[in-house]
C-alpha cells in the first residue's frame, strides 16, 4: 500500500485533534479522478466536521481526511472517465463525508471537477470551490437574483460573502454588504454600499431589499426580516429560517443545503475568472502541516476572503 501525508481526525474536538500524518494514498474509483493536490482551503465547514457538529447530520467513518476544496494536477483517471486525462490542471469540490483534500492526493468524482482557470495559480484556484458554489446556490439556485434587484450580503468580506458580492454584481444587482473592517476591499469588489455592522444597526440603514444573504445567523438573521420588500427572500447558509416568521413578514426564507451541479458551475466560474468578473481573495497561505493554526484563524470569525493550505 502506498502512503501519503495527510491531515486526519481520529476523534472529534478542538484544533489539536488535527493530525498531520501518513495515511493510505487513495486510488481513482470508477468515474473518479485522482488529483495530486497542490492546494486546498479551509472552510468553516471543515472546523464544524472536526468539532463533531456535522455528525448530527452527516455520517463519517473515522479516521477521515478533512478538506473539500482542491486545486492540483490529475494523477490518474478511473474507469469511464473521458473528460480528463493525466496531467490536466484542475480544481474541484471534493469530499464532504469521504476522505478530502487536506492531503497529497484526493480522489474526486469527475463530475465535481473542472479545468483550473488558466490565469490562477493553484493557491487562488483552491480558494474558490466550496464558498463560490454556496454563494451561487444561494443567489441563483434559490433566490433567483435578477438584474436590477438589491441584495444585502452579511459577512460580505468573508469566504462566501466576497464571492457572493462578485456574482451579484456580475448578475447586475445592487449590492449592500456588511462588515466590521476591510471596507476598501469591499469597495474594490464593487459593493455599492458598505455598512459597518459594529457601529450601525443595518436595519436602520437598509430597507426594501429583494434578497438577504445571511452568512451569520442568530440576531443578524432575526433583524434581517424587516429590511426585505414584500415577496423578498432571506437565504441563510447557517441557520434554517423560520417559516412562520417569514410568512408574518410576507416574505420567504430558505436554507442552503445542497450544491448546484459542481463541475458545470466551476466551469462557468472559470470563464468568469478569465473575464475578470471573479477574483478570489486569499488573505493567508499556510503549509499543510500548520493546519491547527489555520483552523484557529478561521474560527476567529474575521477571515478576509479565504485561508489556503499549500500542499505541494
Residues that bind ligand NAP (CB under 6 A): 43-45, 131, 134, 154-155, 157-161, 178-182, 197, 215-216, 220, 237-238, 256, 298, 301-303
- Contact between 154 and 178 under an 8 Å Cβ cutoff? The reply is yes
User: What beta strand segments (E) does the chain contain?
Assistant: 3-9, 19-24, 32-42, 64-65, 69-77, 89-93, 105-109, 113-115, 150-153, 174-179, 193-196, 209-214, 228-236, 252-255, 282-287, 306-310
Residue with Cβ nearer ligand NAP (104 or 220) = 220
> Closer CB to ligand NAP, residue 44 or residue 253?
44
Where helices occur in the chain by DSSP H, the ranges are 44-51, 122-125, 129-136, 159-171, 183-189, 202-205, 218-224, 243-248, 262-274, 291-299
In the bound complex, what is the minimum distance in angstroms from residue 57's beta carbon to ligand NAP? Answer: 10
In whole angstroms, the minimum distance from the beta carbon of 6 to ligand NAP comes to 22
Residue 86 or 181: the one with the smaller Cβ distance to ligand NAP is: 181
Q: Which is nearer to ligand NAP, 73 or 254 (CB)?
A: 254
**Quick one: CA dihedral 162, 282, 279, 65, positive or negative?**
negative
Which CB, 28 or 138, lies closer to ligand NAP? 138
The nearest distance, CB 184 to ligand NAP, in angstroms, is 12
Q: Which residue is nearest to ligand NAP (CB)?
A: 158
Shortest Cβ 152–ligand NAP spacing (Å)? 10
Does 63 sit behind a cis peptide bond, omega within 30 degrees of 0 on the bond before it? yes
How near is the Cβ of 243 to ligand NAP at its closest, in Å?
A: 18
Amino acid at each position: 500500500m502506498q502512503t501519503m501525508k495527510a491531515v486526519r481526525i481520529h476523534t472529534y474536538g478542538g484544533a489539536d485533534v488535527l493530525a498531520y500524518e501518513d495515511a493510505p494514498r487513495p486510488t481513482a474509483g470508477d468515474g473518479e479522478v485522482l488529483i495530486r493536490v497542490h492546494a486546498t482551503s479551509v472552510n468553516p465547514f471543515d472546523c464544524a466536521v472536526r468539532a463533531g457538529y456535522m455528525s448530527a447530520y452527516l455520517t463519517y467513518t473515522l479516521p477521515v481526511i478533512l478538506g473539500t476544496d482542491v486545486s492540483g494536477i490529475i494523477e490518474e483517471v478511473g474507469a469511464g472517465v473521458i473528460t480528463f486525462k493525466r496531467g490536466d490542471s484542475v480544481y474541484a469540490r471534493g469530499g464532504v463525508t469521504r476522505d478530502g483534500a487536506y492531503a497529497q492526493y484526493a480522489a474526486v468524482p469527475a463530475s465535481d471537477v473542472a479545468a483550473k482557470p488558466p490565469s490562477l495559480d493553484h493557491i487562488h484556484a483552491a480558494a474558490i470551490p466550496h464558498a463560490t458554489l454556496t454563494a451561487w446556490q444561494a443567489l441563483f439556485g434559490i433566490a433567483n437574483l435578477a438584474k436590477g434587484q438589491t441584495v444585502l450580503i452579511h459577512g460580505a468580506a468573508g469566504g462566501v460573502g466576497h464571492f457572493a458580492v462578485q456574482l451579484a454584481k456580475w448578475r447586475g444587482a445592487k449590492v449592500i454588504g456588511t462588515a466590521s473592517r476591510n471596507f476598501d476591499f469591499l469597495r474594490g469588489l464593487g459593493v455599492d454600499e458598505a455598512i459597518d455592522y459594529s457601529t450601525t444597526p443595518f436595519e436602520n440603514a437598509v430597507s426594501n431589499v429583494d434578497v438577504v444573504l445571511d452568512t451569520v445567523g442568530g440576531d443578524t438573521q432575526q433583524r434581517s426580516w424587516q429590511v426585505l420588500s414584500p415577496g423578498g427572500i432571506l437565504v441563510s447558509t447557517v441557520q434554517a429560517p423560520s417559516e412562520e416568521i417569514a410568512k408574518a413578514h410576507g416574505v420567504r426564507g430558505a436554507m442552503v443545503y445542497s450544491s448546484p451541479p459542481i463541475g458545470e458551475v466551476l466551469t462557468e466560474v472559470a470563464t468568469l475568472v478569465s473575464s475578470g468578473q471573479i477574483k478570489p481573495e486569499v488573505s493567508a497561505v499556510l503549509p499543510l502541516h500548520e493546519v491547527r493554526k489555520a483552523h484557529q484563524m478561521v474560527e476567529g470569525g474575521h477571515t478576509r476572503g479565504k485561508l489556503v493550505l499549500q500542499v505541494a
